[in-house]
């Protein structure tokens, strides 16, 4: 299954390799910037220009939780490998770590001077990496909500970072 999100405010799942649309979700009021399956595959998370992060249950094809707290567009999202935490990156210069069980923000990661464009968890760890329009990447310890290292060297906005 392939998961996509688009400027049409929709997410879609597609059969692979035949390309047929299996499911469509609507509810965001602006473009989708990111989408990611929960490690169990039963749910997904989306991020949007409407400043929200939404969790969706595939068996119900509906939104089960809307996470609010960013003041500008949410540029990306990621699930932790345990499935209990979601991370979001926003144009408001912050990232957030959300506890999906308590439905609350656990930490707001502050330190970038411009839009945070992506966020990814290092699998099976408490580390995330963020990329920013301030031309830096940062490593964070999400157990404490603290930045532990900043990479510098890009001469323009850094749009994405990931781990191998």
Domains in the chain, CATH or no CATH each: 33-152 (2.130.10.10)
| Per-residue pLDDT at 9 | 98
Q: pTM of this prediction?
A: 0.95
| Per-residue pLDDT at 6 | 97
CA neighbor of 57 nearest in space, from 36, 68, 42: 42
| Per-residue pLDDT at 145 | 93
Give the C-alpha distances (Å, rounded to integers) separating 47 from 20, 26, 52, 146, 156: 24, 12, 6, 23, 24
Between CA 146 and CA 127 the distance in angstroms is 10
Going residue by residue through the chain, which has 164 residues, state the pLDDT in tens, using 9 for 90 and above: 999 999 999 999 999 999 999 999 999 999 999 999 999 999 999 999 999 999 999 998 799 999 999 999 999 999 999 999 999 999 999 999 999 999 999 999 999 999 999 999 999 999 999 999 999 999 999 999 999 999 999 999 999 999 99
Between CA 42 and CA 135 the distance in angstroms is 35
């Amino acid at each position: 299954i392939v998961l996509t999100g688009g400027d049409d405010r929709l997410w879609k799942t597609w059969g692979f390799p035949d390309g047929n649309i299996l499911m469509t979700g609507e509810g965001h009021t602006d473009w989708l910037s990111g989408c990611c399956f929960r490690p169990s595959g039963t749910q997904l998370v989306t991020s949007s220009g409407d400043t929200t992060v939404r969790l969706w249950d595939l068996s119900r094809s509906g939104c089960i939780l809307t996470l609010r707290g960013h003041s500008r567009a949410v540029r990306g999202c990621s699930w932790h490998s345990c499935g209990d935490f979601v991370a979001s990156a926003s144009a408001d210069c912050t990232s957030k770590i959300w506890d999906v069980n308590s439905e609350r923000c656990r930490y707001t990661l502050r330190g970038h001077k411009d839009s945070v464009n992506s966020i990814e968890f290092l699998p099976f760890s408490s580390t995330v990496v963020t990329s920013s329009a301030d031309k830096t990447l940062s490593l964070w310890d999400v157990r404490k909500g603290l930045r532990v290292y900043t990479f510098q060297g890009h001469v323009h906005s850094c749009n994405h970072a990931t781990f191998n």
